[in-house]
Amino acid sequence: MRPLPRPVRSLATFAAMVVAASLLVAASAGPRGAPADAASPPSRSTWVPVRSAGILTLDWGDIDATADAWRGNYLVLEPWEGARIPALKAKNPRLKVLMYNNVASVRKDSHESGIYSTGLSYREAQAGGWLLSDAAGRTLQWSDWSDLYPTDVGATAYQDRWASNVLGELRSAAWDGVMMDDTLTSLSHTTVGDRVSTQIPTDQAMYAATERFLARVATRVRSSGFLAVPNLTVQWNTWHAVVTDWTRYVSGWENEYFVKWGLDRAGARFAGADWTWKADLASWLAARDVPLLAVTYSNRSDLAAQIYHRATWLMTWNGRTGSSVFVPSESDVNHWTAASTVEIGTPTQVRRLVGTTGVWRRAYTRGTALVNPTATSAVVQVTAGSRTLGGTPVTRVRVPARSGMILRHG
């Protein structure tokens, strides 16, 4: 999550899934599979803050194009955007604004303001001896992000410099906290020449170094009155151990690729066990009132992914904490979309399977969320008085494979 280009970072190895061919908008098909109704944004006079949807604007021009950035409950901005915060909070005093900063790398060039989004600069890291190097003394460079140079996050002096710099930036404007990217649980970034550092040579060493960083830095950030929200880089078989070990240090978590891989509609939406572990992660955190920023990327026109993302979030939300965040792959576009920010009140029950259909359903005070994380479509009965987001009354709906639906009541 850095300024363009923004390639996919694999957090786990999964078999490729077939992309669902049908586009589902913020509505449901009728009894005979009639076209779904498109979700229409409310009139400006009715716009109010949304309690469980947020915005992440890190590419050039994103925040300028997103006039509605104030409407959610969380907003992540680059550190040089602090001057925007008072106007945003004047519209929505409940908005939490987090400053993006990378934990595990530095870059040589700053923003034109002179500010770095990496906690400290390349020169600072070089002077402190905190750049990772191999046995031949060569400085490592990530090949998947060629402008970034990995750092020794396990070094106490590095941790203290990072914390001091970032706390200074947080205090310079009305920030609520910091979003800490690349809190790595393994050596997940490839390096130029496949070089391995002597400081952090193994996955186990990376895990231990990151835990030391969080124990010292996230704790210091929190004790200074700010939120510390790291990007949780976990896999299907590691998430439970990581959140069990590390949640005590942080204010909440971010997790990318919540319901699909990739940055655009070509990325496959999750199904089966791949969907289940993401929902279980979100549910585990929700049960403990630990905020989660659940992030999905795709095209702004990909309504199917937006609804799948939002409906999955509604399956796990506790009615109080966290935020679902949809990020369009295009730059210079409004990141606030009607389909990915639908509200239907607060949950009235836990998610439940609908018979043997494989479809999950969860009731809310003003609607119902449905998710079908299987490879086949299914028809399910719905609550009397249900309507699609476009206003069409329905008594049963066909939920396509790897898709979600959100219905309103009354």
Report DSSP state, residue 143.
Answer: S
Burial of 145 (0-12, 13-18, 19+ CB in 10 A): buried
What is the pLDDT at residue 234? Answer: 95
* E-state strands within 57-213: 74-77, 96-102, 105-106, 149-150, 177-183
Nearest to 403 by CA among 311, 280, 337, 328: 311
CA of 331: how far to CAs of 61, 115, 300, 397, in Å? 6, 21, 10, 35
Residue 60 has what pLDDT? 84
Question: What angle (nearest 5°) sits at the alpha carbon of residue 239, between those of residues 73 and 254?
Answer: 20
Q: How far apart are CA 248 and CA 282, in angstroms?
A: 16
* pTM of the model as a whole: 0.89
Please calculate the CA angle 278-283-287 and round it to the nearest 5 degrees: 155
Q: Give the pairing of strands 367-372 and 378-381.
A: unpaired
What Cα–Cα distance (Å) separates residue 13 from each residue in 3, 201, 261, 331?
A: 25, 21, 11, 28
H/E segment holding residue 406: strand 403-409
CA–CA dist 226, 247 (Å, integer): 16
C-alpha distances in Å from residue 238, one per residue of 58, 104, 211, 367, 408: 28, 20, 14, 34, 36
Distance CA 270, CA 11 (A): 14
Assess contact for 281 and 243: CB atoms under 8 A: yes
Q: Which of 408, 312, 399, 317 is nearest to 368 (CA)?
A: 408
Distance separating alpha carbons of residues 273 and 11, to the nearest angstrom: 15
Q: How far apart are CA 313 and CA 111, in angstroms?
A: 34
pLDDT per residue, tens digit, the chain (410 aa), is 443 333 333 333 333 332 333 333 333 333 323 323 333 444 444 556 799 999 999 988 999 999 999 999 999 999 999 999 999 999 999 999 999 999 999 999 999 999 999 999 999 999 999 999 999 999 999 999 989 999 999 999 999 999 999 999 999 999 999 999 999 999 999 999 999 999 999 999 999 999 999 999 999 999 999 999 999 999 999 999 999 999 999 999 999 999 999 999 999 999 999 999 999 999 999 999 999 999 999 999 999 999 999 999 999 999 999 999 999 999 899 999 999 999 999 999 999 999 999 999 999 999 999 999 999 999 999 999 999 999 999 999 999 999 999 999 97
Q: Rounded distance, CA 68 to CA 281, Å? A: 29
The Cα 13–Cα 142 span in angstroms is: 19
Determine the pLDDT at residue 41.
40
Tokens 């920023």 belong to residue: 293
Query: Hey, which residues does 254 pair with through a beta bridge?
Result: 231, 293
Identity of the amino acid at 42: P
Alpha-carbon gap, residue 200 to 202, rounded angstroms: 6
Q: Which of 296, 314, 393 is nearest to 361 (CA)?
A: 314
pLDDT of residue 49: 73
Task: Please tell me the predicted confidence (pLDDT) of residue 9.
Answer: 34
CATH code for the domain defined by 48-343: 3.20.20.70
Q: What is the pLDDT of residue 410?
A: 79
Report the pLDDT value the prediction gives residue 48, as an integer from 0 to 100.
65
